Structure 1
Amino acid sequence: MGHRSSRPRRAPPVVPRRISTVTGQPKHSKGVATFMRTSVPNPVPDLVHDRGSAKRHPHHDAPDTADDFRRLAALPPGPRRDALRARIVEAWLPMADRLAGRFRDRGENTDDLRQVAALGLVKAVDRYDPELGKAFESYAVPTITGEIKRHFRDHMWTLHVPRRVQELRNRVRVACRELSQAGSAHHPAVADIARHTRLSEEEVREGLLALDSFSALSLDAQTAGSENGYSLGDALGSPDPALDTVVDRESVKAGLAALPERERTILYMRFFQDMTQSRIAEQLGISQMHVSRLINRCCERLREQALKEAA
Structure 2
Amino acid sequence: MLAPNPAFAASPAPVAPGGRADRAAADAARNAHAIALLAAARRADPAGRRRLHQRVVVEYLDLAHSIARRYRVRQQDAADLRQVACIGLAKAVERFDSDLGDDLVSFAVPTIAGEIKQYLRDTSWFVRPPRRLQELAIEVPAVREVLEHELGRAPRVAELAEVLHRPLALVAEAVQCHSARQAISLHTPIPGGSDDLTLADSLPYRESEYARTDLALTLERATRTLTSEERRIVRLRFEEQLTQSEIALECGVSQMQVSRLLASILQRLRAALNTDVARA
* TM-score, L = length of structure 2: 0.59
5+ residue gaps, structure 2, are 16-24, 235-264, 273-280
Where structure 1 has 5 or more consecutive residues not aligned to the other structure, the ranges are 1-24, 26-30, 38-47, 276-311
Question: In the alignment, is residue 118 of structure 1 matched against residue 78 of structure 2?
Answer: no
Higher helix share: 2
2:56 aligns with 88
Instruction: Please tell me whether the aligned partners of residues 62 and 92 of structure 1 are also in contact (alpha carbons under 8 angstroms).
Output: no
Distance in 2, matches of 1:111 and 1:138, equals: 24
Instruction: Find the partner of 2:39 among 46, 63, 70.
Output: 70
Counterparts in 2 of 1:149 and 1:241: CA distance versus 1, 3 Å:
closer
Q: CA contact under 8 A between 1:32 and 1:90: conserved in structure 2? A: yes
Distance in 1 (CA, whole Å) between partners of 2:125 and 2:216 is: 44
The whole-number CA distance in structure 2 between the counterparts of 1:250 and 1:91 is 76
Report the residue type matching 2:228 in the other structure: E
**Partner SS for 1:219:** coil
TM-score (norm 1): 0.54
Change (3 A) 1:271 1:239: farther
On the 8 A contact 1:61/1:95 being kept in 2, the answer is no
1:235 is the counterpart of 2:235? no
Work out the CA distance in 2 between the residues paired with 1:152 and 1:237: 33
1:272 maps to which residue? 269
Structure 1 counterpart of 2:99, from 115, 131, 138: 131
- Equivalent positions of 1:210-289 (< 5 A) are 210-223=177-190, 226=192, 228=194, 230-237=197-204, 244-246=211-213, 249=216, 261=228, 264=231, 272-274=269-271
Instruction: Letter of the 1:209 partner, please give it.
Output: Q
Q: 1:150 aligns with which of 118, 123, 135?
A: 118
Aligned counterpart, 1:97: 65
Q: Does the 8 Å contact 1:173/1:211 carry over to 2?
A: no
Q: Which amino acid aligns with 2:200?
A: G
2:88 & 2:131 partners in 1: Cα distance? 20
* SS, match of residue 157 in structure 1: coil
Question: In 2, distance between residues paired with 1:235 and 1:250?
Answer: 30
> Residue 99 of structure 1 contacts residue 145 of structure 1 at CA under 8 Å; is this kept in 2?
yes
**Residues 2-44 of structure 1, C-alpha deviation per residue, up to 9 Å, x if partnerless?**
xxxxxxxxxxxxxxxxxxxxxxx5xxxxx34649x7xxxxxxx
Deviation at 1:199, TM superposition (A): 3.9
Does the CA-based 8 Å contact 2:68-2:85 persist in structure 1?
yes
- Does the C-alpha gap of structure 1 residues 172 and 88 become closer, same or farther in structure 2, counting only changes over 3 Å? closer
Q: 1:250 to 1:209 in 2, by over 3 A?
A: farther
1:61–1:105 CA distance, 2 compared to 1 (3 A): farther
Deviates more, 1:118-127 or 1:209-218: 209-218
